[in-house]
Amino acid sequence: MLYGSRFGDLCHTEIIGTSTCGRELVAFHLSSDPAHGSHPRLLVTAQIHAAEYVAGYVARALLRTLLREYGSDPTVSALLRQARVTIVPLLNPDGAHLVWQHRGWVGFKGSRVTANGVDPNRNFPFVPIPGRRAWNSGSGWRWSPYYRGPQPLSEPECLALAQLCKRERFCAAVHFHSFGGVVFFPARSHPQSAPVFDVFRSVFPAAQRHCRYRPVPEPASALAGQLDLFLLHAFGTPSATVEVSRPSLALARRPLRWLHFFSWANPSNPDRWVENDVPATVCALLALLERTGGRPLPAEHPELAEQVPE
């Protein structure tokens, strides 16, 4: 129990797996119900890409906000009374360690990949889609920054997350990345998902304090192998990618930093983006809960779930 007895009734931690290099993957489960009984499930993850530190920073700030504000903030209280929120703030600890070890000078590929050089957000099972190069947005070339790996779920980090999702059947999911200041989600690939994803056109940007992120619906061909499309089709979990922050003017003033992908992926003032995104995410999670009725949508491709071992 990382948060001690004060938060013991609200939060419990779980090691959902280990990375290739043996680092623990930690999930925090938060709910007002200590037994975590039949509450609907919501998922928040971050930093599946190695250098996207600000994404994990915002996810940990969300975790602290939920713990501290329960009982005083009405939106936080309503959320934790009605749902169990699972937060996995660091999905790619090996990649993050390499970025830290090299002070951010890891190149574009190093800013994304796992210890095995795989882009973990191209490593999920996918539905083959007809058309040239449309069957997977990842690459089969192992030197590519978008290398999808030798087979789906080859990366232990992706397997652990897929197993968690198979067990929990989340009604919705949000994944923090950086740095585009946009929200990606699958377009027109599931008949009942549009009103759910509408949260990212309305509730979420309306609650952002400094900068409203642009909603970007993407075709399935651009998303195959990615977490959003996998969760939607395998488990019926509407799933969106929130790209935290935008490159700052500070980058323009320091041209050498243009080669430093850590500087692209992370703002110099992360607390501004916590202010911008954490309250908005709390509102979005509550809206996602309401619009899904606390249940996942029907899965269009349940055979993808069968690729995930128990």
Instruction: Give contact residues for Zn ion (rule: CB under 5 A).
Output: 49, 177
Question: 171: part of which helix (H) or strand (E)?
Answer: none
Q: Which is nearer to Zn ion, 120 or 236 (CB)?
A: 120
Name the minimum Å distance from CB 89 to Zn ion. Answer: 14
Task: Give CA–CA dist 193/296, Å, rounded.
Answer: 10
Name the minimum Å distance from CB 55 to Zn ion. Answer: 7
Name the minimum Å distance from CB 243 to Zn ion. Answer: 7
Task: Give CA–CA dist 40/294, Å, rounded.
Answer: 5
Task: Give CA–CA dist 280/200, Å, rounded.
Answer: 10
CA distances from 235 to 88, 100, 130, 140, 166 (A): 18, 35, 22, 26, 7
Q: Which is nearer to Zn ion, 176 or 204 (CB)?
A: 176
- Cβ atoms of 41 and 79 closer than 8 Å: no
Name the minimum Å distance from CB 96 to Zn ion. Answer: 12
Question: 26: part of which helix (H) or strand (E)?
Answer: strand 24-30
94 CB burial (10 A radius; 0-12, 13-18, 19+): buried
Name the minimum Å distance from CB 47 to Zn ion. Answer: 8
Helix 227-235 to helix 156-168 angle, to the nearest 10 degrees? 30
- Cβ atoms of 2 and 30 closer than 8 Å: no
Q: What is the DSSP letter of 255?
A: G
Name the minimum Å distance from CB 157 to Zn ion. Answer: 14
Name the minimum Å distance from CB 49 to Zn ion. Answer: 3
Q: Which is nearer to Zn ion, 27 or 55 (CB)?
A: 55
Q: Which is nearer to Zn ion, 49 or 60 (CB)?
A: 49
Q: Which is nearer to Zn ion, 177 or 291 (CB)?
A: 177
Q: Which is nearer to Zn ion, 177 or 260 (CB)?
A: 177
Q: Which is nearer to Zn ion, 225 or 236 (CB)?
A: 225
Partners of 13 in the beta sheet? 28
